[in-house]
Structure 1
Amino acid sequence: MLELTKKYSIKKIGDLKDFITVTYVLIDDIYQEITPTHIKERRNINKSILSDSKIITISIVGELLTIDSEKAWLGFCKKNLKDLFPRFSHRTRFNRTRRALHSVIDAIRKELTSKLGFRDKSFRIVDSIPIPVCKFGRACFHKSFKVDSAYGYCASKKETYYGFKLHAITTIEGFITVFILTPANIDDREAVWELIDDYNSITTVGDKGYTSKHLPSQLQS
């Protein structure tokens, strides 16, 4: 994980810039190829300080570096990456645009999955992981995700938690091809239907959380 409080050497900053540049070129190529015209040519787009591709790149690189503070990450970019991003939009506008581009980001993810050859893999692994939003003792006081989160049970840790559950299908190599986020109380067997919705024929392997008398035959049909 990138520690934003450290003073970085020129080499480390240079390596990061190279990585961001390569990421941007890849994202922008796919963006130009698949994004609908009404999004690319929407009103006032020519007045934007950062292009859609740059906003997506900055967001994705921050996630890849496991930085959980958007404010800290954008501050780091403004200070250290001026040659890549001479001007920076206000964080509120950046965040608003990023959220509006959610469908575009997801489409880029799917296209990248296809270009890397993972789309047509026959065998997949399905699994879920708990995502608690706070310590269990603080759950009754937590307000940030009150509408969407729920109590759930993690069998591997044998504990109840409060938050969400990430359901995902990966290739045998571990590449995530599709995922959804649900409240923690959603059963794995219920979520699997949305995960496989885009697939015509794949073989999935899951743990006993997906055990059901009728599920195998239902999936085959």
Structure 2
Amino acid sequence: MNNFKANYNKILEVLKSITEKEQFLKQKRKPRLKDIELIAMNLTAEYMSIDSECQLFKEISIDLKNKIERSVYNRRKRKLFFAIAFIRNELSNKFNEFENYFVVDSMPLEVVKLARSSSSKICKEEFYSSPNRGFCASQNMHYYGYKIHAVSSIEGVFKSFDISKASVHDIHYLKDIKNQFNECVILGDKRYLSADYQLDLFESKQIKLEVPMRKNQQNYKKQTFIFRKKRKRIETLFSQLFDQFMIRRNYAKSFQGFKTRILSKLTSLTIIQFINKFVFDRNINNIKISII
């Protein structure tokens, strides 16, 4: 797991099996480091928990270092957001093509501490994408930043995700789910409890939203054990993103950089799951494991 070059070669090999395209950006000069190689370099860094570009350029081999400068790497990585998103979708579809059961949940993403929120300029280029204050009930804390909403399969592969301001309630993400899913069962926690939303999802897209009832509700019935157990899969995924991929640590200054950073971490997680299943035929969620 400590050999950057070997891990990079394995991830690059998988990327080339997903897409034949090597250049995604239209550039007048042909770069020495191809776009597909830059993406592989980015995903390898996330897999190996290299969270700083300064550290990354100390780890990479001389031949890679000679192909690109650090500042150019940063700019091109942000421009390749759409390409990384395409690769993540292709990888996810390999797992979720015939999946009918999914889990929805959210996680807080702190940008700066609350005490610095009024003076901070991070991600404030546009009002619509600027962070704000929110509350995380599961951790009983107020924070300043964003919230990631995600849907994963029962097996543990992210199918869809989005980033919103911290103050946005989880239930509003169900509007996005309505446009992305149909004829399936989605498991959620009590934050997604709404009879109106459940009825609308079922009538419009035949999506059955399974949410545990509150004890003070009429005709209270405890949720099936298998649903309660499977719903915890996404909480484990969030823990892995927090631990190995350090998703709550932010070095980005712009929203474009921030969302590229989050996407890279989710894509890196998915490509390791892909290698586990389709290359080594082992448990896909053994993330802290050698891929070479």
TM-score range, shorter chain: 0.7 to 0.9
Query: Which position in structure 1 is the counterpart of 2:59?
Result: 76
> How does 1:59-208 map onto structure 2 within 5 Å?
59-77=42-60, 81-82=61-62, 85=64, 87-115=66-94, 117-146=95-124, 147=127, 148-208=130-190
Distance across 1 between alignment mates of 2:179 and 2:98: 15
**1:6-21 map, 5 Å:** 12-13=2-3, 16-21=4-9
SS in 2 for 1:197: helix
1:140 Cα deviation after fit: 2.0
Deviation at residue 41 of structure 1 after TM alignment: 7.6
**2-structure distance, mates of 1:40, 1:140:** 38
Q: Alpha carbons of 1:101 and 1:163: their partners in 2 closer, same or farther (altered >3 Å)? A: same
Q: Which has the higher contact order (CA 8 A, sep 6+)?
A: 2
Q: Quick one: distance in 2 between partners of 1:125 and 1:135?
A: 30
Following the alignment from structure 1 to structure 2, what is the Cα–Cα distance between the partners of residues 62 and 41? 21
Distance 2:155 2:200 in 1: 27
Q: What value does the CA root-mean-square deviation take over the aligned residues?
A: 2.1
CA-to-aligned-CA distance 1:151-175 (integer Å, 9 cap, x gap): 1110112221110001000111221
Q: Distance in 1 between matches of 2:114 and 2:186?
A: 33
Unmatched segments (≥5 aa) in structure 2: 205-292
Shift of 1:86: 6.1
SS in 1 for 2:123: coil
Q: Is the 1:153–1:185 contact (alpha carbons within 8 Å) kept by the matching residues of 2?
A: yes
Shift of the alpha carbon at 1:96?
Answer: 1.7
Count residues in correspondence.
199
Corresponding residue SS for 2:133: strand
Could you tell me how far apart the structure 2 residues matched to 1:130 and 1:167 are? 9
What TM-score do you get using the length of structure 2 for normalisation? 0.63
Aligned partner of 1:30: which letter? I
Query: Are the counterparts in 1 of residues 104 and 187 from structure 2 also a CA contact under 8 Å?
Result: yes
Task: Please give the alpha-carbon distance, in whole angstroms, between the structure 1 residues aligned to 2:52 and 2:172.
Answer: 32
Question: How far does residue 195 in structure 1 lie from its aligned partner after superposition?
Answer: 4.0
Is the alpha carbon distance of 1:93 and 1:203 closer, same or farther for their aligned partners in structure 2, counting shifts above 3 Å? same
Question: Cα offset for 1:119?
Answer: 3.3
Q: In structure 1, the residue corresponding to 2:195 is in which secondary structure?
A: coil
Separation in 2 of the partners of 1:168 and 1:189?
Answer: 12
Partner of residue 35, structure 2: 52
Secondary structure at the residue paired with 1:17? Answer: helix
Q: Which runs of 4+ in 1 moved over 6 A?
A: none
